[in-house]
Amino acid sequence: MEIILGLFGTIIGALGFALAVFVAVMQAKEQARNAKEQARNAEEQARKDRLMFLSDRIFDSSIPRDLRQPFYEEYISMKGNGTAVKFWLLEGEREKKEQQPT
């Protein structure tokens, strides 16, 4: 009887250990997955922050246009689009019209 109880206890202990190892492995995989997702989100956020900074410089008409040119070029190279690009192009057209003699 003691042998049966000992054998039963050993089997239960081994199953408990296997379950603990399985849970630890699953937690490690989940943590790795979360770390990858956080890194990807951080990259996306850094890109958004950089595009916001560049668009702020593009819209800042207190800075001469030729000094804002590198910001515009980087903005375009990062696949930025929208109102900052439209503003840049419209501003360029307006300056050309102002420079033309009437």
User: Tens digit of pLDDT for each residue in 15-57?
Assistant: 999 999 999 999 999 999 999 999 999 999 999 999 999 999 9
Cα distance between residue 40 and residue 43, in whole Å: 5
**How many other C-beta atoms lie within 10 A of the C-beta of residue 72?**
21
* Backbone dihedral region for residue 101 (phi beyond 0: left; psi -120 to 50: alpha; all else: beta): beta
State which residues form the domain around 74. Answer: 2-99
What's the confidence (pLDDT) of residue 1? 83
Structure tokens at 70: 């590198």
Is there a contact between 61 and 86 (Cβ–Cβ < 8 Å)? Answer: no
Which phi and psi (to 5°) does residue 84 adopt? -65, -40
Cα distance between residue 83 and residue 100, in whole Å: 26
**Whole-prediction pTM value?**
0.66
Domains held by the chain: number = 1
